[in-house]
Amino acid sequence: MRAALAFVAALVVLSPVGTAHAASQAYQDVADASHATKQAASFFRSYFTAKSRHDVRATMAHAPPTGSRPSPGT
């Protein structure tokens, strides 16, 4: 009986549901963003979370549209 319970416990811990929270926390929110606007802090948190998860589509969603050019003074 103990072996069966240990097996079930291992399945729960190692299941994708058990690791979903860990994947969502891939990027540790350690930056002091108290000086930033809420929009800027949200943008960078979203960008670095997507980048840390190696989610190319979510990371590229933060890039400017194809064909855009920097403004003339940059």
For 35-52, how does the pLDDT look when each residue is reduced to its tens digit (9 = 90+)? 999 999 999 899 988 988
17 domain-assigned? no
Q: What is the pTM of this model?
A: 0.52
54 domain-assigned? yes
Q: What pLDDT is attached to residue 55?
A: 93
14 domain-assigned? no
Averaged pLDDT of the chain: 73
The model's confidence at residue 57, banded by pLDDT at 50, 70 and 90, is very high
Domain span holding position 45:
35-63
49 domain-assigned? yes
The rounded percent of the chain whose pLDDT value lies above 90 is: 26
Q: How many domains, in total, are found in the chain? A: 1
Would you list the DSSP string of 14-72?
HSHHHHHHHHHTSS------TTS-HHHHHHHHHHHHHHHTT-HHHHHTTSPPTT----T
72 domain-assigned? no
40 domain-assigned? yes
52 domain-assigned? yes
Place of tokens 């069966």: 4
